[in-house]
Amino acid sequence: MSGSRHFTQLRDLGVAGLEEVIGKASAWKKSAPQGKLAGRILGMVFFNPSLRTRASFEAAMLRSGGHAIVLEVGSGVWTLEHRDGVVMDQNRTEHIREAVPVLSRYVDALAIRTFSDGSGDQADEADVVLNGFRRYSEKPVISMESAREHPCQGLADVLTMRERFGQTKGLDVTLTWAPHVKPLPKAVPNSFLLSAAAAGCKVRVAHPKGFELTTSVLDEARAFAKQAGGTVEVTNDQSAALEGSHVIYAKAWGPSSASPDAAVRQDAWMPTKKHLGLLEDDGIFMHCLPTRRGLEVADEVLDDPRSRVVDEAENRFHVQRVILHDLLS
C-alpha cells in the first residue's frame, strides 16, 4: 500500500495505492489468501450506528482467521471526550488521550466510525475525533467513516464501476445530490468524488445551489484527477449532468450555506426511471446505502436491474479485506 500506517483518507493511499487495492480486491474476490490474519484482532469503535460497515469489517477479519472486538461508545462503553484542556465535569467520562492508547494496546488495529457533528464544513475538515485516534493510537487506525471521508466506501465504489465497465479511465460518471428529511454528512459524496477522480473518471457533480462541496475536497479531487487522467466538473443542472453518463451515483447531503435556494424543487432531484433514462445504454445506478425509499431514491430505481447497490455493498467486504491485510500483516 502507501507509506501511511493509517488508512483514514484517500490520500493515505494516493492514486497508485488505490490501483493496488482495487486490483488485489478484484483478484481476491475469485481466490483469497486464507488465514493471513490468524490471531489478529481489530478493535472497532463506533460513535454512530452501522450495518454494512460493522458486518463487513467483522466478516473480513473472521474470513481471514482474525477477530473483531466491537465497542459502541455511550452504549455499554464509557462516553468519550476529545477536546483538549476542558474540565471534564459534564457527561463524558473518559478522554481519548487515555482511551485510545489503552485500546490500541489490546488489539492490532483500531477501526473508528465518527460522523460529522453537523457544525459545519470547517469542523468536518478538522475531523478532530478521527485525528485524535490517529494521534494517540499506537497501532494502525482505519476509518469506518468520519466527518470528512468514508474512504472504504469510495474504494468499494471504484471496484463496482471497474467490474461493470472493465476500466474507469475517462468514464463519464455523475455524482448527484438527492433530497432527504434532514441534512446528512458529506463524507460519502466526498469519498466517491475523490475515489472516482483518483480512478481517472470524468466526474460530474450535480447539486442545487447552496449544496456545494468544500473547496478543499474539490481541489484535492482535481489534483487526483489530473494525476489519473480524469476531470471534475460541477453543475447545478442534474439532467445535463446525467445525459451521456454511465453511472448515476445518488446521495443526500446537507447545505453548504444556511439558506439554500428556496426556489429549487428538491423532490425533483430524487432519482426515478426518468433519470435512469438519461444514462448511456450500459448505465448503472449506485448508492452507498442506507437509503430511504420514496424520499431519497424511488422504489422503481432500487428495484431496477440497473441498480448495483447490493453488489456495491458487497464490495465493501472485498476492499476492506485488502486494507486490513495490508495494514495488519
Site string for a second copy, 225-264 (x = CB under 8 A): ----------------------------------------
Amino acid sitting at position 107: V
CA distances to 52, 150, 288, 314 from 145, rounded to whole Å, are: 12, 4, 12, 17
- Please name every residue paired with 80 in a beta bridge, in sequence order, or none if there are none: 94
Three-state DSSP class for residue 248: strand
- Identify which range of 127-135, 192-200, 201-209, 301-309 contacts a second copy by CB under 8 A: 301-309
Stretch that binds a second copy, among 150-158, 199-207, 248-256, 308-316 (CB under 8 A): 308-316
Q: Using CA atoms, how far apart are residues 249 and 246, in angstroms rounded to an integer?
A: 10
Q: Nearest 5°: CA angle at 275, between 270 and 280?
A: 145
Alpha helices in 107-237 (DSSP H): 121-126, 128-136, 151-165, 187-198, 215-228
Fill in the per-residue mask, 86 to 105: x = in contact with a second copy (CB under 8 A), - = not in contact: xxxx---xxx-xxx-xxx-x
- The phi and psi torsions of 314 (rounded to 5 degrees) equal -60, -35
- Nearest distance in Å: CB 59, a second copy: 4
Counting contacts by CB under 8 A, is residue 13 touching a second copy? no
Nine-digit cell string for 296: 431519497
Q: Does 39 bind a second copy (CB under 8 A)?
A: yes
Sign of CA dihedral 320, 324, 327, 329: negative
Nearer to a second copy, 76 or 277 (CB): 76
Stretch that binds a second copy, among 9-17, 64-72, 191-199, 243-251 (CB under 8 A): 64-72
Residues contacting a second copy: total by CB under 8 A: 58
Residue from 3, 31, 76, 263 in contact with a second copy (CB under 8 A): 76
**Distance separating alpha carbons of residues 168 and 81, to the nearest angstrom:** 42
Of 41, 234, 264, 278, the one binding a second copy (CB under 8 A) is 41
Beta carbon of residue 267, minimum distance to a second copy (angstroms, whole number): 10
- Alpha carbon 261 to chain centroid, angstroms: 27
Write out the three cell numbers for 164: 461493470
Nearer to a second copy, 191 or 307 (CB): 307
Least distance to a second copy, CB of residue 290, Å: 3
Is 135 one of the binding residues for a second copy (CB under 8 A)? no
- Measured CA to CA, the distance from residue 70 to residue 233 in angstroms comes to 40
Task: Indicate which single residue of 16, 23, 33, 55 sits in contact with a second copy (rule: CB under 8 A).
Answer: 55
Note whether 41 and 226 are within 8 A (CB).
no
Q: How far is the CB of 86 from a second copy (least distance, A)?
A: 6
Residue 304 near a second copy by CB under 8 A: no
DSSP-derived letter for residue 181 is S
Given the complex with a second copy, which of 145 and 172 has the nearer CB atom? 145
Give dist(CA 252, CA 291) in Å, integer.
9
Binding residues for a second copy (CB under 8 A): 39, 41, 43, 46, 49-52, 54-56, 58-59, 62-63, 67, 69, 71-72, 75-78, 81, 85-89, 93-95, 97-99, 101-103, 105-107, 181, 289-296, 299, 302-303, 309-310, 313-314, 317
